Structure 1
Amino acid sequence: MAVGRSHEVTVRNSGSCLCLPRFMRLTFAPESLENLYQTYFRRQRHETLLVLVVFAALFDSYILIMCAVVYTSEKLASVSVASVGLAGDIILYLLCRFGLLPDRISRRFVPYSLWVLIASQIFCHLGLDYARFHQASDTVGWQAFFSFSFFLTLPLRLTPIVLITTVSCGVHTLVLGVTIAQQQQENIQGSTLARQVKVEVLN
Structure 2
Amino acid sequence: MSSHICDIYFRAMLCPVVSKHFYNVRTTEVDPTDVRHDNSFMGFRPTVSLRFPEAVAMRYKVLNIGKGSANEVNLENFGYCNYISPKHAVIFFDEYTNHYELINYAPCGTYVNNVLYSNNTSTKRPEVTVSSDEKCANVEIQVRDIIDKKRKISRVRKSSLDNKMTAVDCIDKLECCCSNNQDDLRKGWEGSAVLSHGSLLRFGCVSFVFSIVECTSP
TM-score (ref. length: structure 1):
0.24
Q: Between Structure 1 and Structure 2, which shows a larger proportion of strand residues?
A: 2
Instruction: Return the structure number with greater relative CO, CA threshold 8 A, min gap 6.
Output: 2
TM-score (ref. length: structure 2):
0.23
